[in-house]
Amino acid sequence: YGLAFIAFTYLVINGASNAVNLTDGLDGLAIMPVVMVAAALGVFAYLSGDVRFADYLHIPYVAYSSELVVICSAMVGAGLAFLWFNAHPAEVFMGDVGARALGAMLGT
């Protein structure tokens, strides 16, 4: 896979980062999809990291994938806390650094 995998990974991370950055135009528009996607990825990581759930749902068991639940739940918690101040009328704006960082975290 080598070089093709590196190029594909670069495109996915950069694409997700730019997608979140482009949606950060209105109050709360960027953070809610990030929270929803992070919550869904956290649920998937939890289910695939548990042998019983993976066997019951007929999905592949991935060892140590349940550690991603910590990162996803941190993103959900931080996103909901940020949404409190970013909802209309917005007191805080995420900016490029926050939007690109959250998009890159979702891309990886």
Q: What residue numbers does the annotated binding site for Mg(2+) cover?
A: 21, 96
Q: Which residues are annotated as a binding site?
A: 21, 96
Who's near 7: CB < 8 A, 6+ residues apart? none
Q: How far apart are CA 83 and CA 14, in angstroms?
A: 24
CA nearest to 68, candidates 37, 51, 100, 43: 43
What's the CA angle centered on 58, arms 57 and 64, to 5 degrees? 85
